[in-house]
Structure 1
Amino acid sequence: MASSRARIRVELVKVHCYDTEDNLGGDEFYVVGAAACGEIRNVVLTKPLDINDQQTKMFNPTESVIFEGEVDLAETLTIGIAGYDEDFSSDWGKYGQALKEMLDSVNKISPIPGQFGQQLIDVSYTAMSDVLKKIDPDDELGQLTVSRPISEIHAGDKPWPFEGGSWMGKWKYEVTYRITKIPVE
C-alpha cells in the first residue's frame, strides 16, 4: 500500500554570486522568508554572507532550514523567500528574537489564494526588520514563491536563479536549495 504521508525537508545549501549588486565591493547576502504546509509553519533567516563576484558560499546548516515536517501528500507546501543585500549593519545579536517575532507574525497570516508566498515574504521581512532595527530597507535581489501539492514535489537539489539591475548596476545570483522527501508508513 502506498504511503499517504511524507517527511519533507527544504533547506538552503549554497549561493553563487556571478555579479554583486554593490559596485564598490562585495555584497552581504542573506535570505529571509517562511514556508507553510497544513498546520506547520516555519521561518528562515540566514545571517549575512560576505560574497563577491564569482564566489560560492555555503549556508550555515543551523540557519538554512526553510521547512521541515511530516505532512499528507494531498496538502500544499507554500514557500516564500527573498534574497537581500544588507546595506547597513543590523543588530544580529537579536537573531533569536527576530526568528521568534517572524514565526509569531507568520502564524497570524490568513492565506490569500495566489498571494500566500508573497505574504510569507512580506510578513517575515517586516518582523525581522523591526527587531534588527533596519534603518533603511535592504536591497531585495530576488524572490522565490512556490505553492505545490506534496504529491508533486520531487527530491533533489533545485536552482533558484535571479538577477536584476538598477541605476547602481546589475546583479546575478543562483541559490541552490535541497528538497528531501521520505515516505512515512
Structure 2
Amino acid sequence: MTKVKVELVDVYCRDTEDITGADDFYLLGGLVGGAITKAILTTPIKINDKQKKSFKPDQAVLFEGEIPQGQSIKGGLKAYDEDAAKDWAQYGDTVKKIASVISGALAAAGPQAAIAGTILSAVTTGGGILASLDKDDLLGSTELDISSSGPVHEERTWIMSKKTGIGWSTWDYTLTYRISRS
C-alpha cells in the first residue's frame, strides 16, 4: 500500500473571464481510490488578472489515503467562475450529497467502472445540487488518473484558457496541485 495525498497549491489568473473585474473561481470534482471516495467543492476565491491565490487549508486536500500498489486514484475536476449566487452556508451538506451521487454511480456501474470519465460525469450530475450551477461559467474540465507509484513529491499544473474573442468571455488560468507518496 502507498499513502497518497493530493492537495491544491494555488491558482494563478493571467486573464479573468469577467471583463469588469475579478472572477469568483471555484472547483467541483471527485476522486476515488482504494476504498475512498472524496467529493471536491471549494468555496469561491475572488481573483483578478495577474493574481495568484491559495485555497482554504480545509479545502486544499483533494485526496488522502492508502492505495494498493499498481492502482490509481481516478476522477476529475471542473473549474467555474461563479456568476449566480449560491447558498454557501450549505457547503458541508452539498459535499456529502456530491459524494453520495459519486458512490451511487460507481455502485450501479460496478467496480470496473471506476474510470475518470465516469466519476467526472457523476460529479456533474451531483453538481446540479448547487442551484444555478448551469449559469456559472465553466472555465475547464480535466480527468485525473494518479498512480500510486511515482516520485515521492510531484507537482502538476492544469491550464484552463479560452483566448478567442476580443477580451469578451476569455480567460487564462493555471492550477497547481501537489502529489505526495509514502
TM-score, normalised via structure 2 length: 0.87
Stretches of structure 1 that go unaligned for 5 or more consecutive residues are none
Partner of residue 59, structure 2: 63
Q: Does 1:102 align with 2:98?
A: yes
Match of 1:27 in 2: 23
Q: Which runs of 5+ in 2 are unaligned?
A: none
Q: Report if the CA contact (8 A) 2:77-2:120 is conserved.
A: yes
Amino acid at match of 2:156: K
CA distance in structure 2 between the aligned counterparts of 1:7 and 1:162, rounded to whole angstroms: 29
In structure 2, the partner of 1:137 is 135
> Are residue 116 (structure 1) and residue 105 (structure 2) matched?
no
Higher share of residues assigned strand: 1
% same residue: 32
Superposed, 1:1-185 pairs within 5 Å as 5-110=1-106, 116-130=115-129, 132-134=130-132, 136-152=134-150, 155-165=153-163, 168-182=168-182
Deviation at 1:148, TM superposition (A): 4.2
**Equivalent pair of 1:20/1:170 in contact (CA under 8 Å):** yes
User: Quick one: structure 1 residues 135 and 12, their matched pair in 2 at CA, closer, same or farther if it must change by over 3 Å?
Assistant: closer
8 Å Cα contact 1:99/1:128 also seen in 2: no
TM-score norm. by structure 1 comes to 0.85
Amino acid of the structure 2 residue aligned with 1:161? I
Alignment RMSD: 2.2
- Residues 25-77 of structure 1 show CA distances to partners (whole Å, capped at 9, x for unaligned) of 11100011011113221111100000110011101110122111011111122
Give me the whole-angstrom Cα distance separating, in 2, the residues matched to 1:74 and 1:181: 13
In 1: Cα distance, 2:126 partner to 2:52 partner: 28
Q: Identify, as 1 or 2, the structure richer in helix.
A: 2
